[in-house]
Amino acid sequence: MATLTPNRSGSRSQRTSSGTRGPQATESGLLGTLQNVLDRPLASYHLLLGSAALLVALGVMMVLSASSVNAYLNYEDSYYFVKRQAVFLTVGLIGAVVIMKIPHEKLRVLSWFAVGLAAILLILTYTPLGVTVGGNRNWLYLGSSLFLIQPAEFAKLAMIVWGADILARKQRLLDQPLHLLVPYLPGAGLLVLLVVFQGDAGTAVVMAGIVAGVLWIVGAPMRIFGSFTLLGVAGIVALFVTSPNRMRRLAAFLDPSADLNGANDQANAGMYAIAAGGWWGVGLGASRQKWGSLPEAHTDFIFAVIGEEFGLFGSLIVLALFLVLGYAGFRVAMRSDEAFSRYAAGGVTIWFMLQALINLAVVLRMLPIAGVPLPLVSYGGSALIANLLAVGVLLSCARREPAARKLLAKKARAAKPRMTAIVGSGRGRG
């Protein structure tokens, strides 16, 4: 005979006569525990930190696995790429901590310098300092291969934080289209056009998607999105029509059996890798496609190597981590009582989710090859550092949630008397 007894939290749970929980009570208990965890003041902060840290750790491991053969053949050092990635990771982590600690008032001021610097760096790619990689003139060479940077990656973050500041300042005027779009849209549009003329269509699409996403968070009317959609479709068509290389990629995407040793080579190798992984994968380091069949194994197609070595199970783990990151980012945006935090957190989250979606769709042959890395996972100095700086912005916004702000302020007040006592006792001994 079943009875209802109160559990530790004061709610009622169903127990059987033998004292064991029934299935409904167990489910209720698990949901209650999860709800209690998510209700903690710093839950968003910990979800962001945990998911981002796991993705970065997975990325370093997979960069080593996917690049070891290429690195040994070209540089006689199997650890060439992972050592560089470790340097980029260190720089990015320091930057993330610094950004997380900067007060939002100062961060908003710095965003204006950041967007100006991003524009200058993008313009410099059109000078002799610019370097063409993969058919796109989107890199700056600053005297060493370690200082080969891609300004567009930093422009994404600068555009988001700068836009969040502008839109927050105009919070009460955003119902007027002129204030909603100016100067954010012209400034962001200039950065996107600079990337378009570099030939980097994939990055330009991501940046345009970020702009649309930020305006959606702000609450722009649907007629503006309709106009953007038409303009975006026309722009994408123009990008393909004006580039023979993109037309070849589009033709290869539409016909997987065509140009097997050319435009379809990389896409098909990625699918072979994923298919070979099966349910559980061939094992860490045992990928076959990284032995020359998959040219961008450690960069844009790193997810194919993950699928091959860890199988469907490992691939779903990666997807789950991105979903947790996305959930936590949007949670911060929705719970923030400050417009700047809401727009900045939403913009960064849209960037990560959109870019991850495009990368995964390319690897799974759902889109033509776009040259977009997997955030926090793929090899690349500019991409990894910019991604980690963006994580710093997210963590900063998470610490500004109302409940988190109160808890951290309470801890700071409690720590102040202890610090004063320690200093005072030290002076007394002196």
Whether the full predicted model's pTM is greater than 0.85, yes or no, is yes
CB 294 within 8 A of CB 308: no
Encoded amino acid at 96, one letter? A
The tokens for 268 are 């098909």
The tokens for 347 are 């913009």
CB 287 within 8 A of CB 306: no
Q: What distance in Å separates the CA atoms of residue 109 and residue 105, rounded to the nearest whole number?
A: 7
Classify residue 51 as exposed, middle or buried by CB count within 10 Å of its CB (0-12, 13-18, 19+): buried
Other residues' Cβ atoms within 10 Å of the Cβ of residue 282:
16
Q: Please identify which residue in the block is written with the tokens 């190798």.
A: 269
Residue 88 CA: distances (Å) to CA of 60, 98, 232, 241, 375: 11, 15, 33, 37, 14
Reduced to 3 states (helix: H, G, I; strand: E, B; else coil), residue 143 is coil
Other residues' Cβ atoms within 10 Å of the Cβ of residue 261:
7
Q: What distance in Å separates the CA atoms of residue 96 and residue 345, rounded to the nearest whole number?
A: 14
Tell me the CA end-to-end span of the chain in Å, nearest whole number: 72
Per-residue b or e along 332-355, where b marks 16 or more CB atoms closer than 10 Å to that residue's CB: bbebbebbbbbbbbbbbbbbbbbb
Classify residue 408 as exposed, middle or buried by CB count within 10 Å of its CB (0-12, 13-18, 19+): middle
CB 171 within 8 A of CB 339: yes
Per-residue b or e along 111-130, where b marks 16 or more CB atoms closer than 10 Å to that residue's CB: beebbeebbebbeebeeeeb
Q: Give the residue from 202, 205, 193 showing the smallest Cα distance to 122.
A: 193
Q: pLDDT tens digits, the chain, 430 residues: what are they?
A: 444 444 444 444 444 444 445 556 666 788 888 888 888 999 999 999 999 999 999 999 999 999 999 999 999 999 999 999 999 999 999 999 999 999 999 999 999 999 999 999 999 999 998 988 877 888 998 877 667 899 999 999 999 999 999 999 999 888 888 888 889 999 999 999 999 998 888 999 999 999 999 999 998 888 888 888 888 888 888 888 888 888 888 888 888 877 777 778 888 889 999 999 999 999 999 999 888 888 889 999 999 999 999 999 999 999 999 999 999 999 999 999 999 999 999 999 999 999 999 999 999 999 998 889 999 999 999 999 999 999 999 999 999 999 999 999 888 888 777 656 665 665 555 5
Other residues' Cβ atoms within 10 Å of the Cβ of residue 97:
13
Residue 183, preceding bond cis, omega within 30 degrees? yes
CB 119 within 8 A of CB 112: no
Strand partners, 12: 6
Q: What distance in Å separates the CA atoms of residue 343 and residue 339, rounded to the nearest whole number?
A: 6
Q: What distance in Å separates the CA atoms of residue 416 and residue 422, rounded to the nearest whole number?
A: 10
Q: Please identify which residue in the block is written with the tokens 């269509």.
A: 201
Torsions phi, psi for 421 (to 5 deg): -65, -40
Encoded amino acid at 412, one letter? A
Q: Please identify which residue in the block is written with the tokens 């400034």.
A: 187
